[in-house]
Amino acid sequence: MTFDIDDAEIDRVMDLHCPVTDEVGARMDTVRAAYKELARCVLPQLPTSPEKSLAWTNLRQSLMFSIAALACNQPTPEDTP
């Protein structure tokens, strides 16, 4: 996907995106809980190493983008009743 990164896109991506609806908030909570469960299952199994550090970093990054997908693509406050 390619698109122009204008001021509106910068604001859309970088502004704080609180859940607009309870459904979006619940989805965010579910995603966070799943990532916590995965981290608590996987990380103790790994030896201390650069690879473990990268696994942790990438779990955090993946969670960040998962939450961003929900936050940045939810209905705007004007679209909700």
Q: Which residue from 5, 20, 3, 26 is spatially nearest to 72, judged by alpha carbons?
A: 20
15 within some domain: no
Does 17 fall in a domain?
no
59 lies in which domain range? 23-73
Residue 1 has pLDDT above 60, yes or no: no
In a domain, 4, yes or no: no
Average pLDDT of every residue of the chain:
87
User: For residue 14, is it within any domain?
Assistant: no
Is 16 within a domain? no
Per the listing, tokens 């939810």 go with: 74
Distance CA 11, CA 5 (A): 10
pLDDT in tens, 2-34: 667 788 877 877 777 889 999 999 999 999 999
pLDDT cut 70: percent of the chain above it: 90
Structurally, how many domains does the chain consist of?
1
Task: Give me the pLDDT at residue 17, please.
Answer: 80
Residue 9 lies in a domain: no
Is residue 44 situated within a structural domain?
Answer: yes
Q: What is the structure's pLDDT at 7?
A: 82
- State how far the Cα of 61 lies from the Cα of 67, in Å rounded to an integer: 10
pTM of the complete model: 0.79
